[in-house]
Amino acid sequence: MSLQRTRAIALALALGIISSTFLTTPANAETFAFASSPLTNLDSAGSTVNGGFTKFPAKAGLYIQQCIAPVGTARPATCSDTIQLWVTAAGGPGTTSPTGPIALKVASSITGKGTTVDCTTTQCGLFFRFDHTAPTDTSEDKFYPMTFAKGAAAVVLAADEITVTLNGMTLVRNVPSNLAYRADATIVATAKSGAAVTLTSLTPDCTYSNGIFTALKGVGQCALAYSTQATATTAAASGNFPFILVPGTQKVVRVPTSLKKGSPKTLPSETNFGTPVTYKSTVKACRIEENIIQSSKATTCLIQATAPAKEGMWKALFVTLKIRAQ
């Protein structure tokens, strides 16, 4: 964090704008420090907690969630499905930087995994924990209680439950999945309420159209965002699924499986990504000239097909093709 921002937080503390409690973990842990606006007497109709980190762990990012108070050393049993932030110095789609302002809209009623909790009668607060890169490390687990002013709480509907699959595999929100350059990636999104789910690519390195999510590079990050409109029984839902881009796999497509001895046959000159293919026969009776194969007798031709990699896009090709000469 910059010296200017540190001084600003210190000044706000002196003026009483920000709570004088710095949120810290035990001295034997890799600690974070966070200063925020007061967490007491919050507006029951909805409020925003504003703050910032003056120290942030180097090991991993942090999740900040509105949850009920944990019991003992266990993590909270219920946390809001929607009131949460992913803070990480690594950056990426859907994340918040630890060096900038932190703003989290909190509510007097939360719903998590189908359970709704009234935070005016049940102790709720902000729960800090390491993100998915260190899921079992509890050294940064910390709960800070919040209270809400008496008054009519805003009606809070349970957030719609959204399921998104990639080629039949269910994606987990905020947990990165690998996506290869130009790989077949069919996305299916459904809402429990039956509402329409809108999907959008958050980065230019990936595109989404008509159920297909496509990586345009083989390195970097992308994110697929989803959203629904509120219904009479559910609140609007939104979130994103991050992806780590990896190099694509080259293939030689439409390769003949057989040929007649003495009769030449043409092999594909390029891979699926348009890279020129080099062929080499390992069987003496099978002769290759450029991409033309011919066999002098009935045998199984073993042909090595190679193509170079392209940095940041796809891997090199090296496969052995089997073509039966009859």
Q: Place 174 in a pLDDT band, splitting at 50, 70 and 90.
A: confident
Name all contacts of 68-77 with Cβ < 8 Å and 24+ positions apart: 68/110, 68/117, 68/119, 68/122, 68/123, 68/124, 69/122, 69/123, 69/124, 69/125, 69/143, 69/145, 70/127, 70/141, 70/143, 73/138, 75/127, 75/129, 75/138, 75/141, 76/127, 76/143
Which structural domain range is residue 117 located in?
3-146
Same domain, 120 and 201: no
Where does the pLDDT of residue 16 fall: very low under 50, low under 70, confident under 90, or very high at 90 and above? very low
Q: Are residues 134 and 183 in the same domain?
A: no
- Is 251 contained in some domain? no
Considering the domain architecture, whether residues 53 and 181 belong to the same structural domain is answered as no
Per-residue model confidence as pLDDT tens digits over 29-42: 558 999 999 999 99
SS3 content of the chain, % helix, strand, coil (to 5): 5, 45, 50
Instruction: Report the chain's mean pLDDT, rounded to a whole number.
Output: 87
**pLDDT band at residue 156 under the 50/70/90 scheme:** low
Q: Are residues 209 and 266 in the same domain?
A: no
- Does the pLDDT of residue 19 top 60, yes or no? no
Alpha helices in the chain (DSSP H): 3-15
Whole-number Cα distances in Å, 292 to 35, 256, 264, 286, 289: 71, 11, 6, 10, 5
Q: Which of 113, 146, 179 is the last residue of a domain?
A: 146
Q: Is residue 156 part of a domain?
A: no
Residue 300 domain flag: yes
- Per cent of the chain over pLDDT 90 is 66
Boundary residue ending a domain (246, 274, 295) = 246
pTM of the model: 0.60
Picking from 223, 246, 269, the residue at the C-terminal end of a domain is 246
Which tops the pLDDT comparison, 133 or 311?
311
Categorize the per-residue pLDDT at 286 as very low, low, confident or very high, splitting at 50, 70 and 90: very high
Decide if 131 is inside a domain: yes
Which of the pair, 176 or 251, is modelled with greater confidence? 251
Q: What is the pLDDT of residue 326?
A: 92
In a domain, 298, yes or no: yes
Amino acid 275: pLDDT: 97
The closest of 155, 172, 158, 153 to 236, measured between CA atoms, is 158
Q: Is residue 157 part of a domain?
A: no
**253 lies in some domain:** no
pLDDT of 8 strictly over 50 = no
Domain count of the fold of the chain? 3
65: domain CATH number?
Answer: 2.60.40.230
183 and 94, same domain (yes or no): no
> Do 59 and 118 belong together in one domain?
yes
242 plus 264 within the same structural domain: no
